[in-house]
Amino acid sequence: MKKIILLLGLLVLGIGLIAGCKAKKEDSGAGSAPAKTEEKSNIVSKNLEGITVSGELPKQLWCTRMSSDEIEFFNVPTESDIWSSSPHIGVKVKKDTTFDYFDMFKKNFTETKSVPNKTIGGIDMKGRTYKYVGMEWIEYMGKIDDEHVVSVRTSINESSYVDIESGEGKAIIDSIKFEKTAE
């Protein structure tokens, strides 16, 4: 009987996780407010460190995962399809810090190169590429205001990546907006 109850509980938990990603209302940040989603337009928004970050997902095969300081847009249909090497775009906002925060693992980066700046959400961001944990990364960093810095990064691996220069990846990057949350 205990095994049946445990299996039912796991089944309900699994269905809830899958449904959360399909509906793009996932919130994995402990104690943080749930993300808002406008179902018809696939716009996802989340308050990250006092900044509301929003972006529009393509209609199919994309889901989000969120924490208290990051939104990740994954090019997979459900959260259960996410692996460490899944192609994605991550947006991280940090308050009361400098760009050094994003360099905490820099000593482990290899093949670091500068790339041309990119404007994302109206913010001019400095670009770089590097290899880390077996994958290539493209990262753009910018200053939202006097208190907040932001990193927008995408992963590239041998078999899959998000093209941020064209297609759905570019559409997500172009849709990202930053707005200071009223206090």
Tell me how long the chain is: 183
* pLDDT at position 11 over 60: no
pLDDT, residue 92, reads 95
Highest mean pLDDT among 23-27, 102-106, 161-165, 175-179: 175-179
Residues 6+ apart with CB under 8 A from 162: 75, 87, 88, 89, 154, 155, 168, 169, 172
* C-alpha closest to that of 89 among 5, 1, 150, 3: 150
Task: List the chain domain ranges.
Answer: 2-180
Render pLDDT for 13-71 as a digit per residue (tens, 0 to 9).
Answer: 343 333 344 443 333 343 344 444 444 468 999 999 999 999 998 877 888 999 888 99
Lowest mean pLDDT among 40-54, 66-80, 150-164: 150-164
| Mean pLDDT score across all residues of the chain | 78
pLDDT, residue 157, reads 66
Handedness of CA 112, 117, 120, 122 (dihedral sign): positive
Q: How far is CA 145 from CA 48, 104, 108, 141, 170, in A?
A: 14, 21, 29, 13, 24
Which residue shows structure tokens 């460190």? 49
**Which CATH architecture best describes the domain 2-180?**
3-Layer(aba) Sandwich (3.40)
* Confidence category of residue 159, pLDDT binned at 50, 70, 90: low
Mean pLDDT of 178-182: 89
**Which comes out higher in pLDDT, residue 173 or 25?**
173
pTM: 0.74
pLDDT, residue 49, reads 92
H/E element holding 113?
strand 110-120
pLDDT, residue 73, reads 92
% of the chain at pLDDT higher than 90: 41
* C-alpha closest to that of 134 among 151, 158, 113: 158
- Decide if 97 contacts 117 (C-beta within 8 A): no
- Cα atoms found within 13 Å of the Cα of residue 10, Cβ hemisphere only: 6
